Structure 1
Amino acid sequence: MRTALVIGTGLIGTSAALALTQRGVTVHLTDRDPEQARTATALGAGTDEAPGGPVDLAIVAAPPALVADVLADAMERGAARGYIDVASVKGGPRRELEARGLDLSAYIGTHPMSGREKSGPLAATGDLFEGRPWVLTPTRDTDTEVLNLALELISHCRAVPVVMDADAHDRAVALVSHMPHLVSSMVAARLEHAEEAAVRLCGQGIRDVTRIAASDPRMWIDILSANPGPVADLLTDVAADLEETVRALRGLQSSDEGERRDGGTGIASVLRRGNAGQVRVPGKHGSAPRAYETVAVLIDDQPGQLARIFADAGMAGVNIEDVRIEHATGQQAGLVQLMVEPKAAAVLTAALKDRGWAIRQ
């Protein structure tokens, strides 16, 4: 691949353009908002000048509802040898293209499983996709050359290719992305009019649950409008779980011993099922989840503190497997939770104590 055309210079399109440009590909940028394309150009993602002829690969980074129109336009004017889209829904756009009677041998649907709460070209980064799954949904008609171009793009972005059926992909992202986003938003909505005294008690748990609720509503309306059925099916199941949980909690309030016992059993069932589902979430590098020990360190909110901790851990010969930071409300301090292999926890604890760090149990 020597040339590419990115149509849509938001977070995903600009990030892909940055990755390609960094690897020597000439990238042409276009967007229905010319100012956004100029911003991506200023960031070094490519040029906003039109290509002189067909490029090797056209990357359509438009909202799902617009993908078919944008792809059809690019195909009809012969903009490229191969065409992909990076929308988060795959079945609908493909069926729209088929209904138009277009030759889809030069097209393959894709979806990089990566993103941020922020949107637009200014949020883009050339390493956004590194180590992340990038789904490919080829059909029997997909030309091998186009598949290879898509794989080359994924390689340049240092992502991991995953081949799936388009409709299976849509059901999967409804489960692991679309439905959780709505649930996160519903939880966050409870905070909108909550008393300030209650909100000040927020800890890391509520931050984790509501983090993705900060995303752009306009973008998510586009996404959910393209995949409403599978998301609604999942929320129906969640609603049933909620009804059972409410009944169980009401049972715990009952004066009847049997109803209290049933209520406790119901709550225990929900929590155990949650445990069983959580352990299936892939761990580091996509592997099966590992059990780590946590070493908690109190730090001041000052520049260089994290760098010092990681350097001290390195000097002790301990690899930090994961890290979380719990900020102290209203204070210039935080609790850094360092996840390490169980056998390394004692070594790290001793080393950090020797270097003056305040360890918390």
Structure 2
Amino acid sequence: MPIEKALVVGTGLIGTSAALALREKGVAVYLSDVDAHAVRLACELGAGQEWIGEETDLALIAVPPHLVGERLAGLQKEGAARAYTDVASVKADPIADAERLGCDLTSFVPGHPLAGRERSGPAAARADLFLGRPWALCPGNETGADALRLARELVVLCGANVVTVGAAEHDSAVALVSHAPHVVASAVAASLAGGGDVPLSLAGQGLRDVTRIAAGNPLLWRKILAGNALPVAGVLDRIAADLASAASALRSGEWDDVLDLLRRGVDGHGRIPGKHSGPVRDFAVVQVVLRDRPGELARLFNAAELADVNIEDIRLEHSTGLPVGVAEMSVRPEDTGKLAEALRFHGWHVPPVPR
């Protein structure tokens, strides 16, 4: 049977976003949270109705990693659902907690959607948060076929892509691609705290890109890092060694070591999957100067639609102290000419597109 009724336990960003996505697919969603205000807000946003004990097909446990085992045990005792999954960003510790508490592991599929925002809470939730994003499922030897089927259906309903991976491999992977990068971004952002106003007045988009994720909730990230401490420490050791080597090379003038790091950085960046987690494609960039006024982006997208050009990606760079910014639109190389022509026709200044 498909998922007709789902329970979401934890109405923060991830839980409420999943609830909104399920509601769009016609699933009856029930919401539960220790924070009554968060439940009310999620209900008002259209994410579902408050849970008062109804039996459901699947329960999604969207609580911090150290609480997953406890919540799972309580829900199974109440018979809340046929199957259970979670969204914790680490897997080994919650699974160990579930085993220690005597949970039924046949109905539990550990999971983790690789999606998020710098903002938290139900008000930041979006039904499209998971579209095209990877969603790890980490079934164990005990996991039942029905539970795994329901967990996979949940991922599909939310618009994400299932990635089946072992719990230990998952934790090592997210240490490399998520947890350590957050610490590194925080270290770069922390270096700005003691700087004066002049350096910050010169800040460009590169600094914003590097430090964007550092705006995450420190208390939440402390719990995430505590649950994956050793793998993250290993990645940070390797990054720290590269940085120390680069600093030493800069002092001594050994530019070959610096160049080697920069080249390895280019290679590593090139391995990051592109749109919808697919292979990286080479797109051309069309730049346009935007006024800082209401409706400007809508006009831009409308002009692209009229030109029959799909914008594959867009990046905004703001001009400090000026009421203008630059939009950088990634499009197929063969579309650059007609997009630039269309934008100029509608009155925008478009610099020549590099050949």
Q: TM-score, normalised by structure 1?
A: 0.93
Q: Secondary structure at the match of 1:135?
A: strand
Using the TM superposition, give the Cα deviation of residue 284 of structure 1 relative to its aligned residue in structure 2, in angstroms.
1.6
Contact 1:313 1:320 in 2 (8 A): yes
Letter in 1 for 2:141: R
Cα deviation digits, residues 150-182 of structure 1 (max 9, x gap) = 122112211111111111111111111100011
CA contact (8 A) 2:133 2:277 kept: no
Distance 2:193 2:174 in 1: 28
| Structure 1 position 132, deviation (Å) | 1.1
Distance 2:251 2:240 in 1: 16
Distance 1:107 1:348 in 2: 50
Letter in 2 for 1:267: V
Kindly, what percent of the aligned residue pairs are identical?
48
Residues 69, 101 of structure 2: 8 Å contact kept: no
Q: How many residues align?
A: 350
- Once the two structures are TM-superposed, the CA of residue 25 in structure 1 deviates from its matched residue by 2.1
Aligned-partner Cα distance in 2 for 1:316–1:127: 26
Which structure 2 segments of 5+ residues have no match?
A: none
Structure 1 unaligned regions, length at least 5: 253-262
Distance 1:319 1:3 in 2: 37
Query: Pairwise mapping of residues 115-264 of structure 1 onto structure 2 (< 5 A)?
Result: 115-252=116-253, 263-264=254-255
Q: 1:186 to 1:2 in 2, by over 3 A?
A: same
By how many angstroms is 1:80 displaced? 1.6
Matched residue, 1:26: 28
Give per-residue Cα distances to partners, 1:60-80, cap 9 Å, x unaligned: 111001111111111223222
Query: Secondary structure, in 3 states, of the residue corresponding to 2:159?
Result: coil
Output the amino acid matched with 1:84: T
- Indicate the structure (1 or 2) with the bigger Cα radius of gyration: 1
Give the structure-2-normalised TM-score.
Answer: 0.95
SS at match of 1:278: helix
Q: What is the one-letter code of the residue matched to 2:103? A: L
Paired position in structure 1 for 2:18: 16
- Aligned-residue CA RMSD in angstroms? 1.5
Q: Does 1:40 align with 2:78?
A: no
Whether the aligned pair in 2 keeps the contact of 1:11 and 1:122 (CA below 8 Å) is yes
* Conservation of the 8 A alpha-carbon contact between 2:133 and 2:276: no
Closer, same or farther in 2 for the Cα pair 1:121/1:317, shift >3 Å?
Answer: closer
Task: Note the C-alpha offset of 1:3.
Answer: 1.8
The answer to whether the Cα contact below 8 Å between 1:28 and 1:51 also exists between their aligned partners in 2 is: no
Deviates more, 1:305-314 or 1:186-195: 305-314
Q: Per-residue CA shift, 1:289-340, capped at 9, x if unaligned?
A: 2222222111111122222222223333332222111100011100111222
Q: Residues of 1 paired with 2:28 and 2:285: CA distance?
A: 46
Report the more deviating stretch, 98-107 or 263-272. Answer: 98-107
Matched residue, 1:4: 6
Please give the alpha-carbon distance, in whole angstroms, between the structure 1 residues aligned to 2:310 and 2:19.
33
Q: Report if the CA contact (8 A) 2:134-2:277 is conserved.
A: no
**For the Cα contact (< 8 Å) 1:108–1:137, is it kept in 2?**
yes
Please give the alpha-carbon distance, in whole angstroms, between the structure 2 residues aligned to 1:81 and 1:349.
54
Note the 1:65-80 alignment, pairs <5 A. 65-80=66-81
- The residue that corresponds to 1:257 in the other structure is none
Out of 238, 251, 273, which is 1:282 matched to?
273
**1:260 equivalent in structure 2:** none
